[in-house]
Amino acid sequence: MQTYASHRAKPSPAYIISFLLIVLNLGWAGYTVVNGPTFPAAVAFGLGLALVLTHFAARRHAQIVQDRVIRLEMRLRCERLGVDLTGLPLPMIIALRFAGDGELPALAAKARSGGFTSVNALKQAITDWQEDTLRV
């Protein structure tokens, strides 16, 4: 069962292993460029750097899409419950998705009035935790 303590998304083993291989490749390419600067070595280093940047960009883009989906889900859910999310920043809306329907209106009202100093404070105030295991 997911709780506040265990709710953070963790990268998959495939993501971690591929990142380590890409960094290892970049390190080898950098070593090759330093010890024998040739055009093919420079190209390999450039491609290695591009792979590292692409790896981070792909994850970030997936997170952006996930945030948009969460915002849409919360908008639909709050329309059904009659909850006003006006003025709440996206991180607060994303945190509210963990709240059950019974406590969502009160938590959203408190968040709108500035009752929470941080997103973590809002998450810690949730008593009816709703799991979200389909995350990037």
Q: Given a cut of 80, is residue 7 above it in pLDDT? A: no
Is 130 a domain residue?
A: no
Mean pLDDT computed over every residue of the chain: 90
- Assigned token pair, 131: 């799991």
- Overall domain count for the chain: 1
| Percentage, residues of the chain above pLDDT 70 | 99
Residue 111 lies in a domain: yes
User: What is the share, in percent, of the chain residues with pLDDT greater than 90?
Assistant: 71
Domain assignment present for residue 13? The answer is yes
Answer whether residue 134 is part of any domain.
no
What is the pLDDT, as a whole number, of residue 29? 93
The answer, as to whether pTM is greater than 0.85, is no
The residue-averaged pLDDT of 54-71 equals 93
Is 110 contained in some domain? yes
Residue 33 is predicted with a pLDDT of 93
Residue 17 domain-assigned (yes or no)? yes
Mean pLDDT of 70-95: 93
Side-chain-facing half-sphere of 132: CA atoms under 13 Å:
22
| Cβ-based neighbours of 2, under 8 Å, separated by 6 or more | 129, 131, 132, 133
Q: In terms of residue numbers, what domain contains 55?
A: 4-125
- Domain assignment present for residue 113? The answer is yes
Q: What is the pLDDT of residue 6?
A: 65
How large is the average pLDDT for residues 89-112?
Answer: 93
